[in-house]
Amino acid sequence: MFAVHLLAFHFTKLKEDQIKKVDRYLYHMRLSDDVLLDVMARFQAEMMKGLGRDTNPTATVKMLPSFVRSLPDGSEKGDFLAVDLGGSQFRAHQVKVFDDGKQSSQLESKFYPTPKEVIQGNRAELFDYVADCLLDFMETKNLKHKKLPLGFTFSFPCKQTKLEEDVDVDVLALVNDTVGTMMTCGYDDQRCEVGLIIGTGTNACYMEEMRHIDLVEGDEGRMCINTEWGAFGDDGALDDLRTEFDRELDLGSLNPGKQLFEKMISSLYLGELVRLILLKMTKEGLLFNGKVSTALLTKGKIEMKHVSAMEKYKEGLSNTKEILTELNLFPSEEDCVAVQHVCTIVSFRSANLCAAALAAILTRLRENKKLLRMRTTVGIDGGLYKTHPQYAKRLHKVVRRLVPTCDVRFLLSVSGSGRGAAMVTAVAHRLAAQRQCIDATLAPFLLPLGILREVMDKMRAELEYGLKRETQANATVKMLPTYVCGTPDGTEKGKFLALDLGGTNFRVLLVKIKSGRRRSVQMYNKIFAIPLEIMQGTGEELFDHIVQCIADFLEYMGIKGARLPLGFTFSFPCRQASIDKGTLVGWTKGFKATDCEGEDVVDMLREAIKRRNEFDLDIVAVVNDTVGTMMTCGYEDPNCEIGLIAGTGSNVCYMEDMKNIEIVEGNEGKMCINTEWGAFGDNGCIDNIRTKYDKEVDEGSLNPGKQRYEKMTSGMYLGEIVRQILIELTKQGLLFRGHISESLRKRGIFETKFLSQIESDRLALLQVRRILQQLGLDSTCDDSIIVKEVCGVVSRRAARLCGAGLAAIVEKKRENQGVGRLQITVGVDGTLYKLHPHFSRVLRETVKELAPQCDVTFMLSEDGSGKGAALITAVAKRLHNVGQK
């Protein structure tokens, strides 16, 4: 027993001594974590260079766009062909993808040897051979009569310009084996967004944000990038890590100075690296008693299969002795231990370097998503990873150590190149079909210039109908006189009260206006809520509540005894008989107070003040918020004669020549006309551009059949139009995996603010996904792209329609003035115009297109409903005083 223990001790000591000897000899191949972190940082820098348009030409890591824009989502189905050219054999595959809810597929393959004369011949011979093999496969499988989509795995670096390279067959996708690996694993695990090959060669691909890829047009979504990382270090970036053995191997290779990273990692080179190390150690007398065999001097005599066999856990030493004996080296026990450890150091260095580059990719993915911690899956293929006894374990361990903020699952690919090509083809096929359906759904929203001109002409006709006495009753655009007959001239001064009623909040303001050199406007206000039961109660309850709010404000400001002039911004359609008399035509914006329609709102306010019997007010003017917007901007710019609201509601007003207003007596001067253009189209004149989604929104509204133009242009309704489109696309299986969630069924889920956020150029798709998740919608990256597109199409149509209506008004102003070219300012207010990232630009562009003879300046209003009401009151008092004088 003692002898056995002594022998075991001797062997352990011998093994430790040999390992220490090899460790000292190959010190530069044993990479610490600090070195690996440095390699990781260098690779990240090379990735950035490869993605940049200006830096890509000199980058070693070429970051080639694959034009694969999406991962499998489980809805793929159908029969596909795949061909795989990447080594000594050519393979043809038929892949059936089943839409059975289990994400299953069936693969049938046939192998064809690729003769050396074909591999080394010309292009025509190679692709003729591929076509002949494919034809044979289709005849074998009785597929010749079918035209099936085909994916072509071409496992060599390719600079692609598009996914569909048409070569006289229905080739839908040209893919790299690395991309195929990612797609194969992505079909089984939708978290998979990295593909990795570690075999004869090595490469990686991953899903990059489009906004970071300068080499491809477009910023939306993601695209798979084929890194071609084998060339990392070709510019000398890894020279400090390359050993004399790496340099000797490179010099003896078919491509000296190229693919230097690959030559440190892939199985094609590791066996040769081991041979070169063993040869030098032998020559230095460290192995085999310094005796070199002819076999050890022969390039390629040690292959990766030998290295893997020598590193096996139990039989490794016996395998080592057998392999070395076959090389005529006659090893001792010490030699076998040392050689086995050389193999371990070479293969571990390979795994470490691969882990460092992979960690760089994972870090980039996490940073792109702006996550502190990320879960993801890496799809892997390749003989080195699959067959080496320790490689996978070592790789996993180092990756998790280098990127502790990433929870990584490693998924082995099955038939990656063939099945992967079919999956890319299936995804491309699905996306093409989806694109067709989406385009058909959104086509009615894409209004060409000719249609917009028709809308402009119809709006112009309705403006004229509304101004004429005999047609005004039947006009949809009511052209309501406001009795505001002037704009500010800078002499207005005094203290004024302003009331602002136009939504769920009600404001009372004290406005102090100074004229002369120190011309200024100071405002003090208080906001009061209007409960839903008041909005939809009786008119008396509503106006009593308003007067209660006024009393609280007067008390708050200490001016309860003062009888100040007051302007009342009443942002609902009113027919005015004078500046201080306005009859409510009809409620909008969710108000339903009874006994108000057809009544003078100023009289109702005065009666409520009398009922309270605490104070008295000089009600000078009842105005619309649109008019207030025009007056506010007119105070700053005398050229402002149009007011536009583009927000929760939509409306416009403008200064019209009195001689054109038949519904009001008098021909001198001008008067502001409140168009109330939201009702444009209520007579059916724009039904040709209303979509089924507009009709669904209208039918579900509080006022079906009314305010049709407003329902196509205002923020209150755009989100609901988007929701209806998303429901339709989900029913077609194009969104949210075909599942209509309870959230999506809820009216009003999409507010204008969400549309504005989703369409922001600064918002990454991941943030769009988060917004959708906040709304209870479980979305993928592809879903986010589609939702963003839908929001953009709907809001763009709104801006274009609004621009067509405004163009009709500025053209009318130009003709009124009888000038060849008009210069005019439009005062604008409303959240849609102010906050939406593209609405204002599209609106301005449309006006310019449709009214090229008008130079229109758009000026943002500062508190049109409050300040504007006070200015209207001030102008009315000034004009009244002038009249008295």
> Which residues, 6 or more positions from 210, have their beta carbon under 8 angstroms from its beta carbon?
216, 218, 219, 220, 221, 222, 223
User: Strand 565-570 relative to strand 494-501: parallel, antiparallel, unpaired?
Assistant: parallel
Q: State both tokens at 587.
A: 């409620």
Q: Among positive and negative, which fits the CA dihedral 410, 413, 417, 419?
A: negative
863 catalytic? Reply is no
Cα separation, 567 vs 777, whole angstroms: 45
Please say whether the beta carbons of 467 and 553 come within 8 A. no
H helix runs in 443-504, sequence order = 449-467
Please say whether the beta carbons of 208 and 66 come within 8 A. no
Q: Which of 73, 335, 625, 783 is catalytic?
A: 625
Q: Which of 347, 571, 714, 756 is catalytic?
A: 571
Cβ burial of 824 (10 Å; 0-12, 13-18, 19+) is buried
Cα separation, 867 vs 688, whole angstroms: 40
Please say whether the beta carbons of 21 and 33 come within 8 A. no
Cα separation, 516 vs 507, whole angstroms: 29
Q: Identify any residues that bridge with 407 across adjacent strands, giving them in sequence order.
A: 375
User: What's the longest Cα–Cα distance across the chain?
Assistant: 131
Cα separation, 697 vs 91, whole angstroms: 54
507 catalytic? Reply is yes
Radius of gyration of the chain (CA): 38
Question: Which among 856, 846, 860 is positioned nearest to 810, based on CA atoms?
Answer: 856
Cα separation, 827 vs 635, whole angstroms: 10
Q: Which of 42, 349, 507, 878 is catalytic?
A: 507
Cα separation, 707 vs 477, whole angstroms: 10
Neighbours of 236 (CB within 10 A): 11
Cα separation, 274 vs 154, whole angstroms: 30
518 catalytic? Reply is no
Q: Could you give the angle at which helices 781-817 and 449-467 cross, rounded to 10 degrees?
A: 50
Cα separation, 542 vs 538, whole angstroms: 6
| Active site members | 507, 571, 625
